[in-house]
Amino acid sequence: MPTKVAIVVGTKGRGSNMVALLSAMGRRPEVAVPYVVVAPSAESPALAVARTTGVRTTISGVDLRGALEGADYVCLAGYLRLVPPETVAAFPNRMLNIHPSLLPAHGGQGMYGLRVHQAVLDAGETVSGCTVHLVDEAYDRGEILLRRECPVLPDDTAETLAARVLTLEHEAYPTALFDLIEADAHH
């Protein structure tokens, strides 16, 4: 029986990581199927995108447990709120997040979107990338599952670096999810 994956999106993002996850599940439905897409607000652009795929959608406040009931794994995609400890505890080693830097650098509260890429540039980094990690009770601190790297180019802006990192995210997130599901299946 395939694993049921819930995707929790934010209020502002386009949902491109959600789309990458849904697409990957569409290619490997024997491993994982989309269970629900959860957003904190009906105004989330990602919700409209999810509805076009036929995936069930719902709105949830800060306590996500009710919305996630029945899911086997949870993927956060552009969700900027701190997940309550009770919700994290309900999905031990089964809640993932993706961050647009090579954690632990440039992570933590308030570090999202172009802020992250500007921080990478301001620090003079020559390499950036993305990190898929398990979610714990703090922002961007959980166990790292997978990282993908790209060079920081001399003429990069936060926007050009963000676009290059986003391409990595779309490959890394589904890969980390499927690797975790398959590893758990062998335990």
Written as six digits, the tokens of 126 are: 């020559």
CA 71 – CA 91 distance, rounded (Å): 9
Written as six digits, the tokens of 173 are: 């997130």
Q: Which amino acid is at 57?
A: T
Q: Which amino acid is at 127?
A: V
- Active-site entry in 99, 106, 117, 170: 99
- Strands 73-77 and 127-134 come out as unpaired
Specify whether 170 is catalytic: no
CA 50 – CA 187 distance, rounded (Å): 32
User: Hey, which residues are catalytic here?
Assistant: 99
